[in-house]
Amino acid sequence: MADELSNRGKPGGSPCEPGASPARAGRPIIVQKYGGSSVADVDRIGKVADRVVAAKRAGNDVVVVVSAMGKTTDGLLALARQVAGAGGAGGAASDPPRRELDMLLSTGERVSMALLSIAIQARGFEAISFTGSQSGILTNDRHFDARIIEVRPFRIEDELARGRIVIVAGYQGMSYRREITTLGRGGSDTTAVALAAALRAERCEIYSDVDGVYSADPRVVPDARHLPELDCAVLQEMAECGAKVVCAQAVEWARRSGVALYARSTFDAGPGARETVVRRFASGTAPPTIAARAIVAEGNVVLARVPGGHRLDALLRAAGELGVSFRDLSFGPGGGAFVLPLLNVPDWQGAKRQLTALAPSLELVEGLASVSVVGDGLTATAEPLARFLDVLERSGVVPRFTVAGPLRLGALVDAADAADVAAAQRQLHAAFVEG
């Protein structure tokens, strides 16, 4: 593995200063990412191979990032939980260790990368698959939710120069300690955008089972509207609060590096097909009006409350060290509160024990979901917040915690009644997007 890190060329940079690659003469580079549903079975892998070959035939150098097949990652995670639960000391279930989860989960994407490479070679094209570490994806050392800090895509560039199609296992990298890491759920998107930035690709195409980004999850809100164009800042806010169509870290990379994202459907593509183009618009070009763009929701969040007289920094630092991130923090002499999203916290039971040992007065309200309106200028007047609260009241969900900022109005509500949370999304959509 050492040669994968050899210092040929200048080390790649942060999201602000992407990539080490010297500009390549000749063919444009296109990065395509196919998600789990796009490679769920042999038939679909064949169709993806056809699409990749078509992009190569059109005169591009093609790098393809793949996710694990179908729900493989969920299956592996369930397996790990079963094994950890079975061995819990004194019968108590224990959390599976994050390092071993990364070793396990990273195998899902290795299966699909090899199968896609085989399928492409069977079509008479040269292809080669690489793991995240072979692709030069270097991360920090936080397991299960690592951040990419550098990309050194030398092996990919060499293979592209040989005329090969390169297939990369998404969602994974290697830390400076040479440990295998994964990038948080949905992280193959991040691999694709980070590689597109480092390779100075012409664009990054994200293929999934929807033909772009909608004004709400179309599975929950049937009247959701297709959004043909979107600003990175709005999509990042949507993704951070539950719209899983593109992962938040990926949008952050796109925003910082200027990579243009095209979200498309894998199987409804072709001339005339819809897509969402996501770009970083220069500040000042956004419309100055109050505009709600989308409704998003996320399950599995926790509300943390602390009484007055506490500085929260030590607690938040401890949470960070346990791999638990926070958002929507406020505190003052009367007390403080913040929100903990648990999507990328596989070991919450252990983390909870440690946090409450550190701050016994910490109150943790579990079993919540968050529902948000995302847009621009949402606090320019008090009207959007008033409408938000009215709609929630009419839908029968009681906000336990509410936040308001220019880009987002959000509320934490009881997740126990999923039907109410879904109804609230539909009513918010009718009031803010359709209205």
Binding site for ligand ASP (CB under 6 A): 35-36, 67-68, 73, 108, 170-171, 185-189
Instruction: Please choose which of ligand ADP, Mg ion, ligand ASP, none residue 245 contacts, taking the beta carbon within 5 to 8 angstroms, the exact cut-off set by kind.
Output: ligand ADP
Question: Quick check: 15 binds Mg ion (CB under 5 A)?
Answer: no
Give the strand pairing for 408-414 and 363-376: antiparallel
267 burial level (CB within 10 Å; 0-12, 13-18, 19+): middle
Question: Which residue is at the shortest CB distance from ligand ADP?
Answer: 35
The distance of closest approach from Cβ of residue 282 to ligand ASP in the complex, given in angstroms and rounded to an integer, is 30
- CA–CA separation, 290 and 406 (whole Å): 9
The distance of closest approach from Cβ of residue 23 to ligand ASP in the complex, given in angstroms and rounded to an integer, is 29
Each residue 342-371 as x (binds Mg ion by CB under 5 A) or -, in order, gives ------------------------------
Question: Quick check: 70 binds ligand ADP (CB under 6 A)?
Answer: no
Could you tell me how many residues of this chain bind ligand ADP (CB under 6 A)? 19
Instruction: Please choose which of Mg ion, ligand ADP, ligand ASP, none residue 338 contacts, taking the beta carbon within 5 to 8 angstroms, the exact cut-off set by kind.
Output: none
Question: Quick check: 184 binds Mg ion (CB under 5 A)?
Answer: no
Question: Quick check: 208 binds ligand ADP (CB under 6 A)?
Answer: yes
CA angle centred on 68, ends 62 and 69, rounded to 5°: 100
Question: Quick check: 213 binds ligand ADP (CB under 6 A)?
Answer: yes
Identity of the residue, 37 or 427, whose beta carbon is nearer to ligand ASP in the bound complex: 37
284 burial level (CB within 10 Å; 0-12, 13-18, 19+): exposed
The distance of closest approach from Cβ of residue 132 to ligand ASP in the complex, given in angstroms and rounded to an integer, is 11
The distance of closest approach from Cβ of residue 170 to ligand ADP in the complex, given in angstroms and rounded to an integer, is 9
The distance of closest approach from Cβ of residue 102 to ligand ADP in the complex, given in angstroms and rounded to an integer, is 19
- Residue tagged 């220069």 (tokens): 282
- CA–CA separation, 45 and 336 (whole Å): 50
Instruction: Please choose which of Mg ion, ligand ADP, ligand ASP, none residue 171 contacts, taking the beta carbon within 5 to 8 angstroms, the exact cut-off set by kind.
Output: ligand ASP
Q: How many CB atoms sit inside 10 A of residue 419's CB?
A: 7
3-class DSSP state for residue 145? strand
Listing DSSP states for 17-83 in one string gives S---PPPPSSSPEEEEEE-GGGGSSHHHHHHHHHHHHHHHHTT-EEEEEEPPSTTHHHHHHHHHHHH
Question: Is-contact 283 227, C-beta < 8 A?
Answer: no
Among 199, 204, 245, 374, indicate the residue that binds ligand ADP (CB under 6 A).
Answer: 245
DSSP label of 379: T
Instruction: Please choose which of ligand ASP, ligand ADP, Mg ion, none residue 428 contacts, taking the beta carbon within 5 to 8 angstroms, the exact cut-off set by kind.
Output: none
Question: Quick check: 170 binds Mg ion (CB under 5 A)?
Answer: no
- CA–CA separation, 190 and 113 (whole Å): 16
The distance of closest approach from Cβ of residue 406 to ligand ASP in the complex, given in angstroms and rounded to an integer, is 30
- Residue tagged 């996710």 (tokens): 67
- SS3 helix, strand, coil % of the chain, rounded to 5? 35, 25, 40
> Contact positions toward Mg ion, by CB under 5 A?
35, 186
> Contact positions toward ligand ADP, by CB under 6 A?
35-38, 67, 186, 208-210, 213-214, 216-219, 243-245, 294
